Chains A and B, each alone.
Chain A
Amino acid sequence: EPEVTQTPSHQVTQMGQEVILRCVPISNHLYFYWYRQILGQKVEFLVSFYNNEISEKSEIFDDQFSVERPDGSNFTLKIRSTKLEDSAMYFCASRRDRPNYEQYFGPGTRLTVT
């Protein structure tokens, strides 16, 4: 069964460094998402992406964040200058076109900012 994959599984970086988190959504999916989960807290929506552009973003998704679909398979989240509070598990998700709304999540990337 097709799955969303994410790399790396764990990323450690120093404050102020740039990180790129990578995702490969399920191949016939059209909508892509990033969520994050700070340890012990709720899963929070960051951004949705459709038709090669951002369709919605949350307040968390400020100018330090960007997303890209550089080719037909990858979907990336870039954090330009990481802060300690960016430490979290980052999940990529994807879904098919309407009328299917199920979002399928990847295993996550644990980002640790020191």
Chain B
Amino acid sequence: SQQGEEDPQALSIQEGENATMNCSYKTSINNLQWYRQNSGRGLVHLILIRSNEREKHSGRLRVTLDTSKKSSSLLITASRAADTASYFCATDPNTGANSKLTFGKGITLSVRP
């Protein structure tokens, strides 16, 4: 079992549709963060949700967190071709100096024009 497992592994949708990506984890967390990575590029921070939060919005992004089920979901509404990328959830179990992220394998999202 691994921390930060996303599903599905790959998702292909039409432009304008919504994309929902899920992440499950095993241990307790302080926060969970979602990142985007375009092919061969760096990790772009999308959104952070704390363990005491249940839902958070940022533009077309909506993140939920269910600590009882140890799961999170990332919803991208009205997807665009430019949203094509890999998406990762990363869990942070600690606070302060020992904060570190454990990443999942990622979800490959393809948005067809």
Interface of A (DSSP majority class): strand
The answer to whether the Cβ of B80 comes within 8 Å of any Cβ in the partner chain is no
A68 at the interface (CB under 8 A from B): no
Interface pair A55/B43, CB less than 8 Å apart: no
Contacts of B98 in A (CB 8 A): 48, 55-56
Most buried by B among A43, A95, A102, A104: A43
A42:B105 contact, CB within 8 angstroms? yes
B97 with A44: CB separation less than 8 A:
no
Determine how close the nearest CB of chain B comes to the CB of A46; give it in whole angstroms: 9
Complex CA–CA separation, A17 to B31 (angstroms) = 38
Q: Are A101 and B99 in contact (CB under 8 A)?
A: yes
**Within the assembled complex, what's the spacing in Å between the Cα atoms of A28 and B95?**
18
Is the Cβ of B48 less than 8 Å from the Cβ of A108? no
Interface residues, chain A, CB within 8 Å of chain B? Answer: 31, 33, 35, 41-45, 48, 50-51, 55-56, 91, 93, 95, 98, 101-108
Which 6 residue pairs are nearest across A and B when measured between Cβ atoms? A55-B97, A107-B42, A105-B43, A43-B103, A50-B97, A45-B100
**Beyond A101-B50, A105-B42, 5 additional pairs, beta carbon < 8 A:** A43-B88, A45-B100, A56-B100, A101-B92, A103-B99
